[in-house]
Structure formats: structure tokens, C-alpha cells
Amino acid sequence: MKKYNFSAGPAILPQEVFAEASQAVVDFAGIGLSILEISHRSKEFQAVMDEAQALVKELLGLSDDFEVLFLQGGASTQFAMIPMNFLGENETAGYVDTGSWSTKAIKEAKRYGGTSVLASSKEDNFNHIPKGYDIPADLKYLHITSNNTIFGTEYHSLPDTDVPVVADMSSNIFSKPIDVDRYGLIYAGAQKNMGPAGTTLVIVKKDFLAKQVREVPTMLDYNTHVGKQSMFNTPPVFAIYVSMLTLRWVKAQGGVTGVQKLNQAKADLLYSTIDDSSLFYNPVAKEDRSLMNVTFLMKNKDLEADFLAAATAAGCSAIKGHRSVGGFRASIYNAMDLEGVKVLTEVITDFDKKHG
């Protein structure tokens, strides 16, 4: 039976990527050595790094005003690294609290400078993206989490401000076109929508990089990694290689514009099925619904175990909701095809007919 991976992360990757990456584990580029054992200083891996960075720039339309880095430590390290580098003791950064990850980012920022939580949807269990709040013009930066995996909300437009935006895009990077010039820094853990866990993409504007405010440990200094082209120390070679393969795949789908069309079609199908159901509902404000993580609850919780069993029997894996929300969650990242979403919607519809 075919399995459909709806996991929020580590998440689904294209089958073509698995095939090529598995071959490289045995023999990379025909050199008789595994990608897991070659030197990161070799010309073969340098070509991987060069192509990965070039694909990021091409797919997102980055100008030479931006640096592209592949770092370690996950997005969680960036929570502290950003304010450590850029937020002075007498400066203030604005944060919008839209869920667990932004809450953690706020906690880290408070260690280094003024941190103003401009808006939060916590009182409504993070079921919407806050709007209509004031953004002081003198902020060092405005931090947002562009897509919230746990609660299923997503920014579909940026706040109206000239303040540099810093965004955690871990779960929707490369899922749609973005206005890159609005951002001072973008970061994304690979394991949601780009590659395996182990590397974190950082895109930083050069004029924002110049605003560093303090000396920091060498490994936590963005300039260290810019100066050494992400190879100050041994980088996560395999994670970067698989991310490069995934970026090739995105390009082959028509780039971020091509995958956005598919992502919209998948989300429209799943949300409409949930909205038409008598048993299930989506708790998120419609204008803020995520195209990557679709959360849905049951009106009768006594039926949850039966539905989970039915979905599992149909090959739908990892749809149980996060423990802080409950219910169910279908993560439909770029690599999830329309077939998988159709299977899940058929399970929902059939279950609705039997128990509705």
C-alpha cells in the first residue's frame, strides 16, 4: 500500500530526490566515494555548495544585495543568533507572537535588548494572524513567523512598514514567490520544506548585515560564515546536498510560481472538504489559513480514534494534531502531490457519510 507522509517535520521530500540521494550515499558523482565521506573542501562538494546557493538566489529572485548561507543548529539557534548580532542594549526589536516558535524567539531576544511584543493571537489559541497594530518606525527589525506549523496559520501579506522584516520561514520557504527586498533576514530550518534536518538556510541583506552591534562568539557571527562561504567549519554536507537536489526539483516544477499553483490547489481541495463536512471543522480564520499545514478538529472527539485508524488504513501517515491543539493536522508541503490530498479527502468524506 502506498504511504502518504503528512508529517509536519521532518517532512516529505520528492521521490526523485530520494532516488538520487540514495545513489550518492553509495557513489557520489561517479567518484567511487560516498557523499557522506568526501571532503567538504573537495571540488565535488564545492560544486554542490555553489549550485545550492545559486538556486536559492534564482528561485527567490535575490540580487547581489543578499548573502546566502547554509548553517547548522536549526532555526532555534537563529532565535538567539539574530538578536545577539543585531539587537543592541538600547535598541528595540518588534515581535509578533503567532505560536510556539515565535514565543521561543521572543524569549531569546529578551536576553540581548529591548523586545516589544507588538501583537499576539495567544488569547485566541493562535487561530489568526494579528492585524491593525502599530509598528514603531524606530524598531531595529520586525520579527514574524511566516507560517505556523502547529496552529495552521500563515502570512499571506506582510505588515505595512519600512522597518526591516526578519522572518522564520522554516515551513513555507520556496512555497510561493516573496518580495525579498522587504526582508533584512530570512531563516529556515531545512526539515520542513527543503531537505533533511541538519542545515538551516539564512538569507541576509548586506546592508542589514552591516548593522551588527556587538562582538559575538566566532561561530555565532554571521560575518564568519559569509567570509568563509558557509564553510568556516565542516558543514552538514549531506543535508546541503539533499537541499540542493530539492531546489533543482522546485525549479523543474516551474519554480516557486509553479509550486504555488499546486499548493493552492491542494489546500483548496482539503479546506473545502473540511468545510463541507458535518463532523470536521477548521478553527483558523479563513483569510489566514496556511497552505502548508491544515489543522482540523472533530465536533465529536469520541470519533477521533476511529478516524485516525481509517486514515492510517488508507495510507495517510502522521495526521495526528500537535498535542497543544489536538485533533488532526495534514502538512501538505511542496513535495506532497495532489493524489495524496485526494486520498485524505476521500477518507474524510467517507467517514462523514458513515458517522455524520
Q: Which residues are catalytic?
A: 101, 168, 192
Please state, as a whole number, how many other Cβ atoms lie within 10 Å of the Cβ of residue 32: 8
Distance from C-alpha of 265 to C-alpha of 138, rounded to nearest angstrom: 40
Q: What angle do CA 235, 240, 244 make, to 5 degrees?
A: 150
Give the helix, strand, coil percentages of the chain, each rounded to 5: 40, 15, 40
Q: What angle do CA 203, 290, 205 make, to 5 degrees?
A: 15
Please state, as a whole number, how many other Cβ atoms lie within 10 Å of the Cβ of residue 118: 19
